[in-house]
């Protein structure tokens, strides 16, 4: 299977002497959900921010989507949901989605269609005219997901996407992620929750900016002779 992301020897350091990423190398196949699993401070968000072009690495190579494309062409194929809600608090839910749709050049007809579809997906019917500032944290999380999907991206980055939402909606999100994969969309998501990570097709286990291991869950369990993902992570951490 062809890779949509290839990272080699990636390093990123922040002042005064914080090694956010150290010689990180990994690959992400097309059309799967790839999980970045690790505790806070393990480098997950830094890696995502490099991959979406917000940060520059100190050294290393990054190949993403198609190297024959310009960065602006690649960016048009990328969706990104941040940990912090990148929304305009004084705009309504619908106005926020309309704004992001306009950035990606959707026509008026396309905007109406996508906004309606996504509001239904995230179960926020009836909240279209509500200012984002009046919505709960969980609702804002749902709006952020909808905004990242507005232009039907080919590659989707989700930084802790299900924080603050209830278990029922979390299941629906994961079902939707699966449907996106079947449509050829590749998803990279970060999490520190083991049962969420277990839903991913492949995982990269990170600790202190270093890659402990990468592979399918069954491969990681076999490699560490572990019964579950948490046990495998602890084993790799001890031996890494």
What angle do helix axes 217-224 and 229-239 make, rounded to 10 degrees?
Answer: 50
- 144 and 196 share a domain? no
- 72 and 163 share a domain? yes
Q: How many domains does the chain have?
A: 2
174-212 pLDDT, tens digit each: 988 998 999 999 999 999 888 889 999 999 999 999 999
Last residue of a domain, one of 108, 129, 152: 152
- 202 and 162 share a domain? yes
- 139 and 228 share a domain? no
85-123 pLDDT, tens digit each: 789 999 999 999 999 999 999 999 999 999 999 999 888
Judged by phi (left if over 0) then psi (alpha if -120 to 50, else beta), residue 167 lies in alpha
Q: Which domain holds residue 145?
A: 88-152
The pTM (predicted TM-score) of the whole model is 0.91
- 72 and 159 share a domain? yes
Last residue of a domain, one of 101, 133, 152: 152
């Amino acid at each position: 299977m062809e890779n949509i992301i290839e990272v080699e020897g990636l390093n990123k350091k922040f002042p005064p002497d914080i090694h956010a990423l150290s010689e990180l190398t990994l690959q992400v196949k097309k059309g799967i959900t790839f999980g970045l699993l690790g505790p806070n401070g393990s480098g997950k968000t830094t890696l995502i921010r490099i991959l979406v072009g917000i940060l520059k690495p100190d050294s290393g190579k990054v190949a993403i989507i198609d190297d024959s494309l310009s960065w602006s062409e690649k960016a048009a194929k990328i969706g990104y949901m941040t940990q912090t809600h990148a929304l305009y608090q004084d705009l309504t839910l619908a106005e926020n989605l309309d704004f992001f749709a306009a950035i990606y050049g959707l026509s008026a007809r396309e905007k109406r269609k996508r906004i309606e579809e996504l509001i239904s997906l995230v179960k926020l019917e009836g909240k279209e005219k509500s200012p984002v500032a009046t919505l709960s944290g969980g609702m804002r999380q749902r709006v952020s997901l909808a905004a990242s999907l507005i232009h039907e991206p080919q590659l989707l980055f989700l930084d802790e996407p299900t924080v603050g939402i209830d278990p029922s909606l979390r299941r629906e999100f994961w079902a939707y992620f699966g449907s996106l994969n079947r449509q050829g969309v590749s998803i990279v998501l970060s999490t520190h929750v083991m049962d969420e990570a277990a839903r991913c097709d492949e995982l990269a286990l990170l600790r202190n900016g270093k890659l402990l291991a990468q592979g399918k869950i069954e491969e990681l369990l076999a490699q560490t002779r572990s019964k579950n993902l948490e046990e495998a992570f602890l084993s790799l951490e001890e031996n890494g």
